[in-house]
Amino acid sequence: MKSLTGISPFCRMSLYHQHQNRREDRFGRLFTELAPAFTRPDILRTIGARNGPMDGKSTASRTATIPVGMVFFGQFVDHDVTLDASTSFASVVDDPGEIPNVRTPTLDLDCIYGLGPEAQPYLFVQGGPFGGVKLLTGADNPGQAGIAEHDLLRSPNGRAIIGDPRNDENRVISQIQLAIIRFHNHVAQTLQDEHGLTGHALYEEARRETTWHYQWALVHDFLAAMCGRPVIERILGCGRQVYCGDVPFIPIEFSVAAYRFGHSMIPMKLQLRKGGSQFELFGTTLGSGFDPVGDPDAVVDWHELLFTPANRQVERALKLDTKLAGDLLALPFISPPDENSLATRNLLRGNTFLLPGGEKVAAAIGCPQAQIDRVLDKVEDVNGDLGREGIPLWLYILAEAEVIGREEPNGDTLAGEALGPVGATIVAETLIGLLELDDRSWLGANRNWSPRPEWNTLGKLVTVAQPALP
C-alpha span between 243 and 429 (Å, rounded): 6
pTM: 0.92
SS3 label, residue 63: strand
Q: Over its length of 470 residues, how does the chain's per-residue pLDDT go in tens digits?
A: 323 333 333 343 333 444 444 555 678 999 999 999 999 999 999 999 999 999 998 777 999 999 999 999 999 999 999 865 444 445 555 555 555 555 678 899 999 999 999 999 999 999 999 999 999 999 999 899 999 999 999 999 999 999 999 999 999 999 999 999 999 999 999 999 999 999 999 999 999 999 999 999 999 999 999 999 999 999 999 999 999 988 899 999 999 999 999 999 999 899 999 999 999 988 899 988 899 999 999 999 999 999 999 999 999 999 999 999 988 998 876 666 667 899 999 999 999 999 999 999 999 999 999 999 999 999 999 999 999 999 999 999 999 999 999 999 999 999 999 999 999 999 999 999 999 999 999 999 999 999 999 999 999 999 999 999 99
Q: Is 30 exposed, middle or buried (0-12, 13-18, 19+ CB in 10 A)?
A: buried
Q: Which residues, in sequence order, are CB contacts of 215 under 8 Å at separation 6+?
A: 107, 435, 441, 442, 443
C-alpha span between 281 and 265 (Å, rounded): 13
Q: Are 455 and 461 in contact (CB under 8 A)?
A: yes
Peptide bond into 336 cis (omega under 30): yes
C-alpha span between 417 and 405 (Å, rounded): 6
| Domains of the chain (ranges, CATH numbers) | 27-463 (1.10.640.10)
Q: Which residues, in sequence order, are CB contacts of 114 under 8 Å at separation 6+?
A: 120, 123, 162, 163
SS3 label, residue 24: coil
Q: What are phi and psi of 186, to 5 degrees?
A: -65, -40
